[in-house]
Amino acid sequence: MKRIVRALSACAVMLLIGWYCIPQVYRLLHLPDVVEQKDLTSAPTLELRQNDARFVRESGDERLNGGSVRIALFGILPIKTVSVISDTRSVVLGGEAVGVVLKTRGVQIVGFEKVDTSHGSVCPAASAGLREGDMICAVNGKAVIDTDSFVLLCTDASETCELSCIRNGETFNTVLKPETDRNGEKKIGAWVRDSTSGIGTLSFYDRESRAFAALGHGVTDMDTGKLIAPAEGFLTTAKIREIRRGTGDSAGELIGSFSVHAEDAIAKVDRNTAFGISGTLGSFHSTNPKSVEIAPNAVVHRGNAYILSTVDGTVSAYSVEVIRLDVQSSRETQGVMIEITDPVLLSKTGGIVQGMSGSPLIQDGRLIGVVTHVFISQPTRGYCLYADRMARELLPVG
């Protein structure tokens, strides 16, 4: 009997030692006892890698209890309690519909086509090593302003074109030889675009600096799916003219009108990122310029909340339910799942529709998130980006 007890005790000790040797657990045990709230934006595991952040979750409804965060493995086995010193930031809420206009740096390749020549079908652009999403900034040393100037520079070239390009932030040069098709026209075998525009929602802005954040996701090219690198971007006021409800096979949409001319801009767009667009407001004035605090991620909880959005001409509040919370450990991870419960909004849109991206999400009097995505098959539900993460990525510090 004593041997059995000793054997079981030895096994227990070995399991305990093994438990505390798990890398994720070891790192958590060595977290500081007191941290600032800003250190919890990506995941409650602080210094852990993304895989660790998925491995370890906060427990319960992920609210702070008495200024501390209890961290548990798989949300069950407690590991450590960390006291949190919260640093807060106040912003002015948006909710207004805006027109978003982004003009690219040069032109962007969005597709390829074969050129039917006397010696067969060829694609000069592909043969030159170009890819979808590449930006072409100059031809033979001359700057590309728009699609018209690009076509003119290529067709006026005597034999070959030396292209100055950008791919994934890296510059490179390549030589392209336009081909003459059977109709006598010079072609390079590529489709290009110099701008994009659409309707979105202003999320929030800093009262003093006038720095703003909007959309909650990046503006991508519709053909390539790549982020557009704007040489010039701006916002204009938008008027909603029509609402197309989601069908279950395709997302609904807010149809509106807005100016695409820079002289009508209410804000300048400086950045287009995976977390949204940002820049500086000019002539814009909020319809409800009350400042609210941005809630730390850890205080967000399941339950009642509301969004601010413009679907019929004015900014209105619509009730929603926060139904799920996730650790936002990467740009691709959406932190908050909501369900639209407001009968008025449901009757108008059927749920979340395109154009509502950027609508601020408020809970307990604080800004907690921004609407970013909708489930096409279930338009009453969608994802939000944590407002704290978005503000830290897009607004200047201070």
Cβ(192)–Cβ(139) below 8 Å: no
Cβ(284)–Cβ(266) below 8 Å: yes
Catalytic residue among 217, 221, 309, 388: 217
Q: Catalytic residue at 342?
A: yes
* One-letter amino acid for residue 99 of the chain: G
Q: For residues 84 and 94, what is the distance between their CA atoms, to the nearest angstrom? A: 29
Q: How many other C-beta atoms can be found within 10 angstroms of the C-beta atom of residue 77?
A: 11
CA 306 to chain centre: 20
Cβ(352)–Cβ(361) below 8 Å: no
Angle at 177 between CA 173 and CA 182, to 5 degrees: 150
Angle at 278 between CA 277 and CA 283, to 5 degrees: 120
Catalytic residue among 164, 278, 357, 359: 357
Q: Catalytic residue at 357?
A: yes
Please give the structure tokens belonging to residue 298. 């850890």
Please give the structure tokens belonging to residue 375. 């489930």
Cβ(348)–Cβ(311) below 8 Å: yes
Phi, psi angles (nearest 5°) of residue 8: -65, -40
Q: For residues 350 and 347, what is the distance between their CA atoms, to the nearest angstrom? A: 6
Cβ(246)–Cβ(350) below 8 Å: yes
Please give the structure tokens belonging to residue 44. 């409650």
Max distance between CA atoms of the chain, in angstroms, equals 98
The sign one gets for the Cα dihedral 298, 299, 304, 308 is negative
* One-letter amino acid for residue 105 of the chain: R
Catalytic residue among 134, 206, 342, 388: 342
Q: For residues 16 and 300, what is the distance between their CA atoms, to the nearest angstrom? A: 34
Nearest Cα to 284, choosing from 259, 309, 308, 267?
Answer: 267
Burial of residue 345 (number of CB atoms within 10 Å: 0-12, 13-18, 19+): buried
CA 128 to chain centre: 32
Active-site positions?
Answer: 217, 342, 357
